[in-house]
Amino acid sequence: PLPLVIDTDTAQDDCVAILVGLLDPEADLRAITMVAGNVGFDKQVKNAWMTLNVADRLDVPVHLGCRRPLVREWVSAENVHGDGGGGLAIDESGLAPQPEHGVDALIRLAAESPGELTIVCIGPLTNIAMAIIKDPGFVTNVKSLYIMGGSNNARGNITAAGEFNFYVDPDAAKTVFAAGFADIVVVPWAPLTLVDGVFSRDEIARIAAVGTPLARFVVRVCEATLAFDESVGIMGSTHPDSLTAAVLLHPELISASSRYAVDVEADSELTRGYSAMSWGVHGLEPNATVVEAVDRLAFLEYLIGLFGTATTPPRP
């Protein structure tokens, strides 16, 4: 199995991505690191524990990372996500995060097995940028970064140009793409997620029909954002984060990808977080592979299979 860490602002599809990391036999999920993003930091931690609990995997260490972006004020997506965890109750009395900071955990885990650790980055990139700044060996110790963020058609979701993860901490995103990682794979918001990462209400009903507690949890999490998605013309729930984890573990889901020189706008307010993806005619060296199309139905079947075979009972 592939050693990995999920760096997350846990709400909605972050929960599904964590389940992918927990349930897929190809994955060896070593830790979860938390970063400021979608909803209040403590709610995010609760959502991560709720997800681990549903899969009966509270043994996975949760490390608290950066509580705000590098230099900007935190911006939330609470209008989209609500509390983001599907509203399940969890008794937190016996739960505690690891004493080690999330950035230090990333640095340590990468250093413990140089060239082997993959980080699935499904929130703002603050923790990754901090690890780069703190440890000169971090960039070469990491095998791969799988990053959910940006768009390669200039279609943002928080502003016209800005996708949420890059918008919240554009300085961090810019730092990461300039750092010289050997392998970066980007799962963009648009067009990819909006085309191949949306499940309709009928398809969500198929997940519900699986009938396991895990499937029920996923449906609750999907439903939490459906009303918002439909209000902006997206006819279903969006799955950028779980898609990022899925293409890491099953690259055969990818039907098109290209190498790009990716950079992120961190000066302009109008285009804050915009991801410039230069495709080769501008003389820039590519620094990332951008996923451009996946087999949407195979992705859905994959998730249905994961939630159907797992038999772990929930602990409400």
Number of residue whose CB is nearest ligand BDR = 164
Least separation in angstroms between CB 162 and Ca ion: 15
Least separation in angstroms between CB 122 and ligand BDR: 5
Least separation in angstroms between CB 289 and ligand BDR: 18
Residue 120: which H helix or E strand, with range? strand 117-121
Least separation in angstroms between CB 302 and ligand BDR: 19
Least separation in angstroms between CB 17 and Ca ion: 8
Candidates 93, 123, 94, 92; CA nearest to 106 is 123
4 or 210: CB nearest Ca ion: 4
CB 64 within 8 A of CB 34: yes
77 binds, among Ca ion, ligand BDR, none (CB under 5 to 8 A by kind): ligand BDR
Note the residues at the interface with Ca ion (CB under 5 A).
9, 14, 122-123, 241
88 or 147: CB nearest ligand BDR: 147
Note the residues at the interface with ligand BDR (CB under 6 A).
12-14, 38, 77, 122, 148, 157, 163-165, 189, 240-241
28 or 229: CB nearest ligand BDR: 229
159 or 278: CB nearest ligand BDR: 159
HSE-up of 22 (CA within 13 Å, CB side)? 26
Candidates 256, 286, 289, 261; CA nearest to 275 is 261
Distance of CA 261 to the CA centre of its chain: 21
90 or 148: CB nearest ligand BDR: 148
199 binds, among Ca ion, ligand BDR, none (CB under 5 to 8 A by kind): none
Residue 103: which H helix or E strand, with range? helix 102-112
Least separation in angstroms between CB 62 and ligand BDR: 17
77 or 210: CB nearest Ca ion: 77
What residues contact residue 22 under an 8 Å CB cut-off, 6+ apart?
Answer: 29, 51, 52, 55, 57, 60
What residues contact residue 112 under an 8 Å CB cut-off, 6+ apart?
Answer: none
CB 197 within 8 A of CB 237: no
302 binds, among Ca ion, ligand BDR, none (CB under 5 to 8 A by kind): none
Candidates 193, 131, 161; CA nearest to 277 is 161
Q: In what order do the strands lie in the sheet with 27-34?
A: 62-64, 27-34, 2-8, 117-121, 142-148, 184-187, 288-294, 254-264, 275-278
148 or 210: CB nearest Ca ion: 148
Question: Distance (Å, rounded) from C-alpha 184 to C-alpha 187?
Answer: 10
Least separation in angstroms between CB 124 and ligand BDR: 9
253 binds, among ligand BDR, Ca ion, none (CB under 5 to 8 A by kind): none
